[in-house]
Amino acid sequence: MNESIARRNEHLSMSGNLEKTRLIIAGGGTGGHVFPGIAIAEAVEDRTGLELLWIGTGRQVETAALRGRAWNYKCLNVRPLHGVGLGKRAISLLSMPLVIMRALAWIREFKPDIVLGVGGYVSGPVLVAARLLGIPTAIHEQNLVPGLANRLSARFAGKVLVSFEETRKYFPKNIVELTGTPVRKSILMDRDRHNFRGDGHKRLLVIGGSQGSQSLNRLASSAIKILWQSGIKIEVWHQTGTADCSRVRDAYQEVGLPAKVSPFINEMGRAYRWADLVLCRAGATTLSELTSLGVASILIPYPFASDGHQEANAKLMERAGAAKCFRQDDIGAVKLAGEIEMLFRETNRLNKMREKAERLGRPNATRDIVSILLKNKKGNRPKGPCTDSTIERVTVHDNV
């Protein structure tokens, strides 16, 4: 019997008649916010059963990831406060009361046991509304250096769950718990990794992020072409994002390289297990997946990430010996090709990088987060039938 089902059955036997947990997850906009939230929701569903309302941004990465699930989904139009001019910031502040009022109405209607913010500006007003209504709240911060949204949201959170020990200093000590970043169960199911082959081609997985990265795609494809034309035969699986797929595929075809090019990889666990080395950005969710599965990597942080959080994430990995890290402006295609070739020639070094990556991993992060949420959820939720008439699949949107 699988562990999550066994745990849920044990809990059911102890409680006799366990109600489903009513959870609101607020946040989104990027895969780094969405995928940890999905991992948490899946684990709650396994443990107690789940009624979920996801309040997000309506961006494609959310709708694609949540499509087909029996979870309610609403979109809250929250304008950013960071990285914009004074005029736009003023508009954001002026619109905030209306946004909070809409969140208040949704929360009253749904009657959650607990509200969880997973990052992004949409989480802030939802947490404010929940606090006003006396609903227990928590936020999860994936990155080593927290973003502005979570630093502000922490003022309204009962718990702050962090992925790195170094992140504690940014939040009040009495509400912080170290958990790690959740990894989707579909990825953890693929933890049995292959051994490095003594002969044959080495395998390189390139990930531009959930929405792709044109600059990383260009750099990676140019470096790989240099390797191929130099007679170094490697196997390549390249996730490009939708906009760049055709260009990258054509670039490989020009030199006769039979790469597998995908706009998006649905089976990321299989892709990680396939790879000897991963070339990617340094988002916290990706790094959590790499460390949970013990995968060696070359990290090129996104240079425009807010507060430089990707570079901070990547440098931690490099200090631990789990990855090599390069700033995008400091590495060209020729140098990158040389770094890839060197690691593929030094199999022992790759193995050590994998071991050190796995030491950083926290594969039980999802379980630990769910335990904290269930412990802190509202215990006196009103009984009786739910008045929410909008519990339906993700195809329904309610925008403000």
Lowest mean pLDDT among 125-134, 185-194, 340-349: 185-194
The pLDDT score that the predictor gives to residue 309 is 86
Structure tokens at 180: 């790690």
Contact criterion met (CB below 8 Å) for 80 and 92 = yes
Structure tokens at 65: 């990831």
Predicted confidence (pLDDT) per residue in 117-144, tens digit: 998 889 999 999 999 999 999 999 999 9
Coil, helix or strand at residue 12: helix
CA distance linking residue 94 with residue 86, whole number of Å:
12
The pLDDT score that the predictor gives to residue 170 is 94
Contact criterion met (CB below 8 Å) for 164 and 287 = no
Residue range 3-183+364-376, CATH number = 3.40.50.2000
Mean pLDDT along residues 227-255: 94
Predicted confidence (pLDDT) per residue in 79-114, tens digit: 665 555 565 555 565 667 888 999 999 999 999 999
Q: Which helix (H) or strand (E) holds 73?
A: strand 72-75
In the chain, CATH 3.40.50.2000 sits at 3-183+364-376, 188-360
CA distance linking residue 336 with residue 340, whole number of Å:
6
The pLDDT score that the predictor gives to residue 274 is 93
Lowest mean pLDDT among 118-122, 290-294, 306-310: 306-310
Residue range 188-360, CATH number = 3.40.50.2000
